[in-house]
Amino acid sequence: MRYTQVRNMLDQVADYHGQLANYYSQLSDDAAQQRVKMLLDYMASHEINLQGSLAAYEEDASRQILNTYVDCKQCDDVLVTCQQMPIEPEMSVDGVIKAAMDVDRCLLRFYREVAENAEPESVRDVFRNLVEMEEAELRKLALNALGATDI
């Protein structure tokens, strides 16, 4: 998708968070280690919250912004990279944490790409806000994941 509406981009990322939540839940069902299972359950909940946050964000955004087309020449490549979910049920807690943080960093690259290249300024502001939200979520994930390693 070279040119797409902001609405479609937000929907695509929200869907991705939903897919991640399902993926983490399935992995949790198969995980043998209790700490890994707890971490995957937390991560599934984390992704559901992010999906809900994007839906709420979309509800509050103006139609003008949501209907704006943006040039996103590298967005598909970034999202495909994000969707390569490297987590397996037999991974260690540290391995799961690293892989989950890599996925979140990938989404940050996506948001930054759009924030740096989109027009008009109001659309850049939307994606700058999403960068801030994702950075806060990444910090929260890191703190909660550290708690899982201490158990």
Task: Domain of residue 113: give its range.
Answer: 3-150
Structural domain count of the chain: 1
For 117, residues 6+ apart whose C-beta sits below 8 A from its C-beta are 70, 71, 72
Residues 106 and 48 sit within 8 Å (Cβ to Cβ): no
Kindly report, residue by residue over 129-141, the tens digit of the pLDDT: 999 988 998 888 7
Q: Which two tokens stand for residue 51?
A: 């999906």
How much is the pTM? 0.84
Angstrom distance (rounded) from CA 120 to CA 48 = 30
Q: What is the pLDDT of residues 24-76, one digit of tens each?
A: 898 899 888 888 888 889 889 989 998 998 999 889 889 999 999 988 776 67
Instruction: Tell me if 93 sits within 8 A of 35, measured CB to CB.
Output: yes
Give the span between the Cα atoms of 43 and 50, in whole angstroms.
10
Q: What is the CATH number of the domain that holds 133?
A: 1.20.1260.10
